[in-house]
Amino acid sequence: MSPSTSRPTTVTAAFWILIVGLILDLITTIVLITTGIALAGGAVEVEVDGASFGGGVMIATGVILIVILLIELLVLRKMRAGRNWARIVITVLEVLGILSLLGGVSTLGIIAAIISVVVIVLLWVRQSNDYFRASA
């Protein structure tokens, strides 16, 4: 990227919207892990959609989610730095999130889908395209 090419507001806004989402995902993951720790001490299980989960499964899932969140953070940082591959990865993940609504619609799902559309638009408007092209 040349020194004269500055990051457009569209890319910065998309980055911070996605960071807020990452923080919310991290909070959810911490709750999952702490719940798992609390359940691991006893024979209690949590039932979700007909499937039972013990504390160990919840802890393991939380640890895997933390690894995924760290990878997402790396991809976000690369996107912010102008890497087009990272923009494409984020776009694919956001589209998959929108498509997940096909499994069932909820108010939070609709809000998440709207946010995903906003992020996709921000990443693909002319200013963003110019930035990613110049960064190549």
Structural domain boundaries of the chain?
Answer: 9-135
Output 132 or 54, whichever has higher pLDDT. 132
Contact 128, 8 (CB under 8 A): yes
Give strand pairing partners of 47.
52
Rounded to an integer, what distance in angstroms lies between the CA atom of residue 127 and that of residue 13? 12
Rounded to an integer, what distance in angstroms lies between the CA atom of residue 116 and that of residue 88? 13
Give strand pairing partners of 52.
47
pLDDT of residue 46: 74
Output 3 or 17, whichever has higher pLDDT. 17
Rounded to an integer, what distance in angstroms lies between the CA atom of residue 135 and that of residue 83? 7
pLDDT above 90 (res 40): no
3-state helix, strand, coil in the chain (%, to 5): 80, 5, 20
Greatest Cα pair distance in the chain: 61
pLDDT of residue 55: 84
Tokens of 84: 């087009």
The residue type at 131: Y
